[in-house]
A and B are shown apart, each in its own frame.
Chain A
């Protein structure tokens, strides 16, 4: 069964760093654009970043630009999010998501999410 599994979340102090990973299974990872979407506790969904199939094109929400870096390793079927200079407002569940084959920016497969808490 196709699925995505995130890891790497946890508690970090303001100004700290974390690296999230998302392992993909049972589909050809290299054929799909991939995304990170976050959800602060009790709130809605916010797009964070996306990467194209070969990793050469990326895009970021203004709120994370310059602090977060998305990357991928197609040989390992794994997506990453390097998060630096973390702030309290980055506290969220971070989901990785797959773009549909027909339409980029529409998400047909989601991981279970990993919680990032930024607090002193």
Chain B
């Protein structure tokens, strides 16, 4: 199984500041024939199910604000929130869908500093 490791485990950021969450996979999730990274990011607020934010490592899901962006390739990926808003407080998960079983990172809890 591909192991996904996120850093940090928790993060405090001031309102309006940038938040950066990292995700590393134990093997590449770049599919060479399509040149696509099989990497997604989800946001989970307390008491709610996860919500898809980013897929193909950098494609925003419909309706997701453009302050959310994803980058990276191969084994190293980043989720960036350019200007933190109060409603962004949540746990964020990366997930690889390159191979079965699909696996998630352990989550990063984002709070307001």
Contacts and interface: CB of A to CB of B under 8 A. Distances in A.
Say whether A and B bind each other.
Answer: yes
A68 interface: no
Contacts of A108: 52, 55, 61
Given A100-B55, A113-B49, A105 B102 contact: yes
Given A95-B49, A110-B50, A44 B107 contact: yes
Interface residue range, chain B: 20 to 34
Contacts, number: 56
Interface string B28-52: 0000000000101010100011111
A113 B107 CA distance: 18
Given A106-B52, A107-B50, 6 more contacts: A44-B104, A45-B93, A47-B104, A59-B101, A100-B55, A108-B61
Interface of B: 38, 40, 42, 44, 48-52, 55-56, 61, 93, 95, 97, 100-107
Interface of A: 44-47, 50, 59, 61, 95, 100, 102-108, 110-113
